[in-house]
Amino acid sequence: MAACHNPSSTTFGHISYRGARVHIAADDKDGITIYEAHAPEIDVIITDVDMPVMNGLEFVRHVRGLNTTIPIIVSTGLQDRSRIDCFRDDFGVEHFLDKPFTVELLCEELLGVLSSS
């Protein structure tokens, strides 16, 4: 599932083409709704640090309240790593993608996450 404030249909279209089923959320609140409706079929969540309705940290906090073990990939364009450390330290997020990233890099990260879970 991808909950991003500006999801690229091209990026996630390439992932779908490679065989993954992708749920794209318009924003973080929509992401929570989609996750609650489709949790059993979602293997990984991709989200952003900065989101329009609630920030990425609030989104991850909410998801962790529903599922403490689902892998989450957080994408960010932030240079301030202290905000990133909150995701790792407070919510066990281990996977981060610096923006901009390529489809290939995203696919590599997804494969790594899915093969280790």
- Look at residue 116 and tell me if it is in a domain: no
What is the pLDDT averaged over residues 8-27? Answer: 64
- Look at residue 117 and tell me if it is in a domain: no
- Look at residue 99 and tell me if it is in a domain: yes
For residue 106, is pLDDT > 60?
Answer: yes
For residue 57, is pLDDT > 50?
Answer: yes
For residue 83, is pLDDT > 60?
Answer: yes
Structurally, the chain folds into a number of domains equal to: 1
CATH of the domain at 37: 3.40.50.2300
For residue 10, is pLDDT > 50?
Answer: no
Distance CA 93, CA 11 (A): 22
* Residue in this structure with the two tokens 């989609």, named with its chain if needed: 34
pTM of the entire predicted model: 0.85
For residue 17, give its domain range: 2-111
10 contacts: CB under 8 Å, gap ≥ 6? 103
Nearest to 46 by CA among 65, 63, 104: 63
For residue 26, is pLDDT > 90?
Answer: no
Q: How confident is the model at residue 19 (pLDDT cuts 50, 70, 90)?
A: low
- Look at residue 75 and tell me if it is in a domain: yes
